[in-house]
């Protein structure tokens, strides 16, 4: 389908799938879902269009929330906040936006564009800038392809606003981050304004559909009484990494990020083994018995063992029984520029990136 | 004179007078002077106009540097930085500025508008928003009169830029401050964009001329072999507060401000007495033997005893022999709204403001 309107079931599936792709970040899927369902109940429509439908000279602007996800849980958004940033950018350019887009996959950030699309009647492109979630503004495939993050708009729920125009995308991240912290920990952004042609070259296509497909696979296999995890690994081309019980969670809000780690004691086949997951908004590395078994840019997602639901980093807590899976990232991230931007070394891990499908072969599986 | 061009001597006098009105803040007068003299040497002209010359519907924008003065000493500006912020604001409004203005008196911030005026051929209004210097963006008479600080432009010497539009002037201060810190400690702003009519009602008139007059009085009495301090107190309606030797200086860069205190041991008539001056970019209070003898919004200025030159807070150091003077502030600051904005309580001193000319009568003078 090149153009379709989201159903309520699509939204339910999408938030589950997006949270799995969100690798622990991108905010709480439940809040994101409520925001979108509210729009549908008001009779508004949300149109998803394939990237192929976007004219080369169309004006495309991704919209998102920025900040520590735990703050977004505490400050429930009204849905108008991101629209305000979009309007600021339209005023700045003196041009109406033709299409909006998610910048990343994740609970809130997959649904913000849907809310904006519903409110403004704007089509949402079935693509994003990550194919997953990452913590910093330059960590998008649009950056890899040379698109500027600025001019960007950044606003808060009070009505404070700023338009940033920086010399590079790292400076956009630095300045937007301190503003986000000063706003109280979360902000609403319209960013990477660009045209259809560069957008189509740079974005990761089909990511909204993929999220829906993942959510649907989980739902259908569960209702059929089958094992949803097998279906999940099948549709994502992922791998089971670990099963266990969370025995410790450390979390600090530092510099506008939720950083920390979770320690998981192995259960079942993994008994006697320990897995540590380190995160910065998103899960960055999975370390099993002192050996890294998965790292950025590949996806590491923690699921509730019983429900099969993804658990965002702010919801990790002692006692939860979890399943950890790894999913190969999009090929754009495996290029030299991609790995320079989001590889393990950027995050301070002094290791080479090894694709998860290669790593997993070397790990002794029970 | 309602319109005149600055001579080199005017500039020399102005920076001395502005530094005295700057009460320790506003940056190094020497750097500011060099920037302006360079413009004159290039053959550019700097036109000063009386506020009466400004049409009611003229577009007026004050320009300034923001940040800890000590950083400005280390990062010598090229002169183009504030012009960049002015242009950003012009682009944002899609309107050319008719007049620029200083926002405060002080070494750098009295001269930045002169440099911008020279570069762009724009007249500089003989007025400012403080009649002295203060550390925060909302501490201007334009704020007292209900003029919005935003939309404002804030840029750095690298070319990073932001346009802020906040819900009030305190939020403008908060957001601009964290951006300034992230830029490296100093930023260049175009702020309080307004029209001629509200500007004329809100601004403190004649402050450029007053600074020149103060500098001239000091220069002429010195060259005539007379006591320059008497002339200074005469032209400013000020009071001698203390004479002594600096025996301790504490200084911290906290939250984008240079905060600290200087301790002065009394000399001559003040022997046996001790004066403490506390500052936040600018001198805030003078405490003699545990008794406050002067406070914001009145002006407290430290002068070198030998040269009669004002000493900015970043130049205070052990061993300097100094004279401390107090000058009554403009009447706009003595209103309820004025004192709420810049009175001692705003800065955390739990005392009522008492005008310096009243306080000084109660102090036992030798």
The DSSP annotation for B48-81 comes to EE-GGGS-TT-EEEEEEEEE-HHHHHHS---S-H
Output the pLDDT for position A119: 94
Exposed / middle / buried, residue A346 (Cβ in 10 Å: 0-12, 13-18, 19+): middle
CA-CA distance, A125 to A49, in Å (whole number)? 5
Nearest to B281 by CA among B177, B149, B158, B168: B177
Output the pLDDT for position B330: 96
Which segments in chain A show pLDDT lower than 50?
A: 366
Which pTM does this prediction carry? Answer: 0.91
Backbone angles phi, psi at B336, to 5 degrees: -55, -45
Output the six-digit token pair for A259: 């950083």
Output the six-digit token pair for B9: 């001597």
Asked if B314 and B320 touch (Cβ cutoff 8 Å), the reply is no
Interface membership of B166 toward A (CB under 8 Å): yes
Alpha-carbon gap: B131 to the closest alpha carbon of chain A (Å): 29
B contacts of A175 (beta carbons < 8 Å): 160, 162, 179, 182
Q: How far apart are the first and last CA of chain A?
A: 42
Output the pLDDT for position A334: 97
B contacts of A167 (beta carbons < 8 Å): 158-160
List C-alpha distances in Å: B54 to A328, B90, B120, B195, B237: 65, 18, 18, 9, 28
What are the tens digits of pLDDT across the range A176-232?
A: 999 999 999 889 999 999 999 999 999 999 999 999 999 999 999 988 888 888 899
B176 → chain A, closest CA residue: A179
Output the pLDDT for position A366: 46
Are residues B175 and A159, on separate chains, in Cβ contact within 8 Å?
no
Helix (H, G, I), strand (E, B) or coil at A88: helix
CB atoms within 10 A of CB B205: 17
Mean pLDDT, residues B219-223: 90
Output the pLDDT for position A217: 94
CA-CA distance, A137 to A139, in Å (whole number)? 5
Output the pLDDT for position B366: 46
User: Using CB atoms, which residue from A158, A163, A167 is nearest to B162?
Assistant: A163
Are residues A162 and B164, on separate chains, in Cβ contact within 8 Å?
yes
CA-CA distance, A204 to A208, in Å (whole number)? 10
Say yes or no: ipTM exceeds 0.90: no
Alpha carbon B306 to its chain centroid, in Å, reads: 23
Mean pLDDT, residues B156-164: 96
B contacts of A160 (beta carbons < 8 Å): 164-167, 171, 175
Q: Characterize the bridge pairing of strands B99-102 and B127-128.
A: unpaired
A154 → chain B, closest CA residue: B164
User: Using CB atoms, which residue from B92, B162, B163 is nearest to A175?
Assistant: B162
Nearest to B18 by CA among B310, B245, B307, B330: B310
Q: Which residue has the higher pLDDT, B327 or B107?
A: B327
Are residues B182 and A175, on separate chains, in Cβ contact within 8 Å?
yes
CA-CA distance, B251 to B68, in Å (whole number)? 11
Are residues B158 and A181, on separate chains, in Cβ contact within 8 Å?
no
Mean pLDDT, residues B327-334: 97
CA-CA distance, B276 to B285, in Å (whole number)? 8
Q: Which helix (H) or strand (E) holds B101?
A: strand B99-102
Are residues B175 and A166, on separate chains, in Cβ contact within 8 Å?
no
The beta-strand segments (E) located in chain A are 3-5, 47-49, 59-67, 99-102, 124-125, 127-128, 152-155, 161-165, 186-190, 194-195, 204-205, 239-254, 257-266, 274-280, 282-288, 291-295, 299-304, 321-327
For each of the domains in chain B, give its residue range(s) and CATH number, in order of start. 3-207 (3.40.1610.10), 228-362 (2.40.390.10)
What share of chain B has pLDDT > 70, as a percent? 96
What are the tens digits of pLDDT across the range A255-276?
A: 778 899 999 999 999 999 999 9
Interface test with A, best of B153, B162, B172, B184 (most A CBs within 10 A): B162
Count of pairs with CB atoms under 8 A, one residue in A, one in B: 53
CA-CA distance, A130 to A205, in Å (whole number)? 10
User: Using CB atoms, which residue from A161, A178, A181 is nearest to B165?
Assistant: A161
A168 → chain B, closest CA residue: B160
Please give the radius of gyration of chain A, using alpha carbons only, rounded to the nearest integer. Answer: 19
Maximum pairwise Cα distance, chain A: 61
Q: Where does the pLDDT of residue B73 fall: very low under 50, low under 70, confident under 90, or very high at 90 and above?
A: low
Are residues B174 and A166, on separate chains, in Cβ contact within 8 Å?
no
Interface membership of B167 toward A (CB under 8 Å): yes
Output the pLDDT for position B68: 73
pLDDT, chain B, mean:
93
Asked if B45 and B34 touch (Cβ cutoff 8 Å), the reply is no
């Amino acid at each position: 389908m090149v153009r379709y309107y989201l159903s309520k079931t699509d939204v339910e599936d999408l938030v589950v799938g997006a949270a799995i792709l969100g690798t622990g970040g991108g905010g709480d899927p439940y809040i994101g879902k409520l925001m979108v369902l509210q729009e549908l109940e008001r009779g508004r429509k949300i149109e998803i269009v394939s990237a192929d439908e976007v004219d080369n000279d169309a004006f495309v602007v991704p919209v998102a929330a920025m900040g520590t996800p735990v703050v977004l849980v505490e400050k429930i958004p009204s849905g108008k906040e991101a629209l305000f940033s979009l309007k600021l950018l339209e005023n700045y350019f003196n041009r109406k936006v033709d299409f909006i887009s998610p910048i990343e996959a994740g609970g809130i950030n997959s649904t913000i564009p849907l809310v904006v699309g519903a409110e403004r009647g704007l089509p949402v492109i079935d693509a994003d800038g990550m194919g997953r979630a990452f913590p910093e503004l330059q960590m998008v495939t649009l950056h890899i392809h040379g698109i500027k993050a600025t001019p960007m708009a950044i606003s808060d729920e009070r009505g404070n606003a700023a338009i940033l125009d920086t010399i590079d995308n790292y400076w956009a991240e630095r300045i937007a981050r301190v503003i986000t912290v000063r706003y109280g920990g979360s902000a609403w952004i319209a960013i990477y304004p660009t045209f259809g042609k560069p957008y189509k070259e740079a974005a990761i296509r089909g990511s909204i559909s993929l999220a829906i497909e993942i959510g649907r696979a989980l739902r259908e296999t569960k209702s059929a009484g089958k094992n949803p995890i097998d279906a999940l690994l099948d549709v994502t081309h992922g791998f089971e990494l670990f099963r266990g019980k969370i025995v410790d969670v450390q979390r600090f809000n530092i510099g506008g990020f939720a950083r920390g780690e979770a320690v998981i004691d192995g259960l079942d086949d993994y008994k006697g083994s320990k897995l540590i997951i380190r995160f910065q908004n998103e899960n960055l590395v999975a370390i099993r018995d002192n050996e890294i078994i998965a790292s950025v840019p590949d996806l590491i997602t923690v699921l509730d063992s019983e429900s099969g639901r993804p658990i965002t980093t702010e919801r990790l807590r002692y006692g939860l029984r979890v399943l950890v899976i790894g999913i190969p990232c999009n090929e754009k991230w495996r290029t030299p520029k991609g790995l320079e931007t989001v590889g393990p070394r950027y995050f301070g891990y002094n290791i080479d990136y090894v694709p998860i499908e290669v790593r997993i072969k070397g790990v002794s599986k029970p």
